[in-house]
């Protein structure tokens, strides 16, 4: 099963967001006004947030591309944090297989960063960031297409960011 490892990798990479001043990934494509990036049709992401969100994701890259069960996967994320991310910030995550919800969970972003020894810890100050996080993907991940919906909120309950991801583990 997908388990929480892949979610934690993406979540921690989103949380840590450390800066790269030079664009190192391809330009995002515009689809209905929101950026979307696809990795050889095996995974994709869409920023479903609003311009007023406290953070914005510019790029997400995975290696290997596409990700493979039983191998390490590195997720690299770039983006901008517009206001300080403090203790109490949370993310609601839902993992689906088709219409079937496999997992719904609320994460405390700062607690997850502490528990996983993330390179950036709360409070995370405003700025432009790049972060990489590597996890071992379980070999038991079934050959299926998973979708992940992530909505994060500041400690005050304001919108932090919103992402929709799809990962295809079919061969």
Average pLDDT, the chain: 80
Domain count, the chain: 1
Total residue length of the chain: 171
Helix and strand tally (H, E) in the chain?
2, 10
Contact 141, 2 (CB under 8 A): yes
CATH number of the domain within which 71 lies:
2.70.220.10
The overall pTM is greater than 0.95: no
Domain containing 39: what range?
5-168
Chain centroid to Cα 39, Å, comes to 15
Query: pLDDT digits over 27-79, tens only?
Result: 333 333 344 444 457 899 999 999 999 999 999 999 998 888 999 999 999 99
């Amino acid at each position: 099963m997908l388990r929480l490892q892949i979610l934690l990798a993406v979540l921690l990479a989103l949380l840590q967001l450390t800066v790269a001043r030079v664009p190192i990934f391809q330009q995002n494509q515009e689809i209905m006004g929101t950026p979307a990036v696809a990795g050889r049709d095996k995974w994709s992401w869409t920023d479903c947030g609003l311009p007023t969100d406290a953070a914005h994701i510019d790029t997400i890259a995975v290696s290997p591309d596409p990700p493979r069960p039983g191998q390490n996967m590195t997720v690299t994320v770039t983006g901008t944090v517009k206001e300080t991310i403090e203790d109490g910030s949370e993310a609601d995550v839902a993992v689906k297989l088709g219409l079937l919800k496999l997992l719904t969970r609320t994460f405390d972003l700062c607690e997850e960063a502490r528990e996983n020894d993330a390179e950036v810890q709360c409070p995370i100050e405003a700025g432009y960031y790049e972060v990489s996080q590597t996890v071992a993907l379980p070999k038991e991940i079934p050959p299926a297409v998973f979708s992940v919906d992530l909505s994060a909120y500041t400690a005050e309950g304001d919108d932090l960011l919103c992402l929709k991801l799809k990962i295809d583990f079919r061969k």
